[in-house]
Amino acid sequence: MQVVDSTLHVGRLALPASPRAIRAALAREVSAMPLATRVWYALLLAGLAIGAVTAILALPPGWEVMGTSPSIEWGMLIVGYVFFAIMTSGLCLASSLGTVFGIERFLPLEKRHAILAILSLSTAFGVIALELQYPVRMVFGAVLVISPSSPMWWMGVFYGGYLVVLIVEVWTLFTNHPVIHKYACTGAAMIGIAAPTTLGAVFGMVAAKPLWAGVFTPILMVASAFVGGVSLLGIVFWAVSRFRLADWGRSGVALGSVRLLLAGGLLVVAALLARQVADGLTSDVAGFRPSTLAMVAGPLAPAFWGLRVAAGLVAPLAILALPRLRTVGFTGLASGLALLGIFVDRSLFVVAGEFVPRTTMAGTVAYPYVAYTPSLVEIGILVGAASFMAMAYSLCERYLPMGEGDVHLFWPWPWLRHHEHGEEADAGGGAPEAPAAAESGLAPAAAAEAVP
């Protein structure tokens, strides 16, 4: 590491080391960008600015800048935290099929998933830090005061450990440490199930909110996590293919895998959602039926049927089912719709759970529904969070070697041994992308589309 002419040399990297050099480097970068890229970054910077201003407003404890009240204490920031946190787990669950279980068609999901997972979890932590009144106490308090009866404490344990494991996973991915990487991938996959399960338990153990309570809540959370992560991968690999980003030739394989996983995940989520609604409508637990009715036939019904069911479930499933729509673009569209559906789903879940209070809350009688409108600060923080993640990922795509590493060690799964001995020629020769794309279910048109 040395500094020569205002330039810091670290290995092969040459970084500007003075304000003037930084300005010059930035100017060079911006002038080298096409107009559309500049517009993209400008939009993200605007989103980040909105997020920064609203975050500053939300920092002092007790400031009444949120739309929440004792009657609806958990609002859109909790939704945002849940959304980004479960997306992390979904990314790991999807990629584990390749990185842990060695299934070839899922291998191209690895490097981008790992970057996205870290960014998603960091974003989730940022959002929850702004939701909490005293986040620093949370960090130290959770370590010093063990509270095993609290699902939230366990959630902190798992997601805290998750971040460590993901950092190790990304580090080993970029620095070529396959042995540690194997353990990190396996750890991430296991925590990928445990973490959203405990997040589901945070809601599932609240008997005071019948819509949240129950053993199916953690299961629904894991399923939602899976769909969220897979659909984000679908959007990213659509962009990789559309804009010819690093290693784009393999995005056909990745999108084929996304189609398969997304279809399965959406079907499971649809079944769990139907179960939840049927259970709620037939339940005699006080408050359960009114909460469910508020969601499916009350003030929340337009969002439920329009965004959650039609746009978030039916439309992507239809796109995935129709052979004519098996193209890169439509796979990206289905992924985007599914991700929208997951966000709306988590929003409805959190809000509808508190929407019909069973009791007077701290002296306030809310009848028949609690009044809750997300404040501009809450919306601004979510805009900032999404912008942060998109900006950080865009920078990763631009400056990191995002081509898949293909450096893997696997556990001695029986199918890999069979594969090794039975199809050694293929394994040794490496299946090129076109057959893999065809195998992945992409129509010839889509496979051709991946090749300009």
Q: Which stretch binds another protein (CB under 8 A): 258-266, 298-306, 329-337, 375-383?
A: 329-337
Window of 112-120, 266-274, 377-385, 394-402 that interacts with another protein by CB under 8 A: 394-402
Among 102, 40, 19, 64, smallest CA distance to 414 is for 102
- 284: helix, coil or strand? coil
194 binds another protein (CB under 8 A): no
- Using the rule CB under 8 A, is 386 a contact of another protein? no
The number of beta carbons lying within 10 Å of the beta carbon of residue 2 is 7
Q: Find the part of the chain contacting another protein (CB under 8 A) among 217-225, 261-269, 306-314, 395-403.
A: 395-403
In this structure, the strands spanning 2-4 and 7-10 are antiparallel
Token pair recorded at residue 212 = 């949240």
Q: Does 409 bind another protein (CB under 8 A)?
A: yes
State both tokens at 392: 């950080």
Q: Does 190 bind another protein (CB under 8 A)?
A: no
Smallest gap, in angstroms, from Cβ of residue 257 to another protein?
13
- Measured CA to CA, the distance from residue 236 to residue 228 in angstroms comes to 12
Comparing CB distances to another protein, the nearer of 30 and 46 is: 30
From residue 310, give the alpha-carbon distance in Å to each of 115, 170, 265, 295, 387: 31, 37, 16, 14, 26
Is residue 427 within the footprint of another protein (CB under 8 A)? yes
C-alpha to C-alpha distance for 423 and 112, rounded to whole angstroms: 28
Q: Which two tokens stand for residue 372?
A: 């809750």
CA 46, distance to chain mean position in Å, is: 22
CA distance 198 to 157: 10
Considering the complex, state which of residue 268 and residue 315 has its C-beta at the smaller distance from another protein.
Answer: 315
- Residue 430 makes contact with another protein by CB under 8 A: yes
Residues 2, 125: Cα–Cα separation, whole Å: 35
Nearer to another protein, 282 or 426 (CB): 426
Out of 111, 113, 209, 289, name the contact with another protein by CB under 8 A.
209
Identify which of residues 5 and 64 has a Cβ nearer to another protein in the complex.
64
Contact between 419 and another protein per CB under 8 A: yes
Q: Does 422 contact another protein by CB under 8 A?
A: no
Q: Closest CB to another protein among 139 and 260? A: 139
Q: Restricting to residues 23-62, name those near another protein by CB under 8 A.
A: 33-34, 36-37, 40, 60-62
The Cβ of residue 89 has, within 10 Å, a number of other Cβ atoms equal to 32
User: Does the footprint of another protein cover residue 360 (CB under 8 A)?
Assistant: yes
- In this structure, which amino acid lies at residue 231? S
Residues 139-158 that bind another protein (CB under 8 A): 140-145, 147, 149-153, 155-156
Closest CA relative to residue 303, chosen from 265, 269, 341:
341
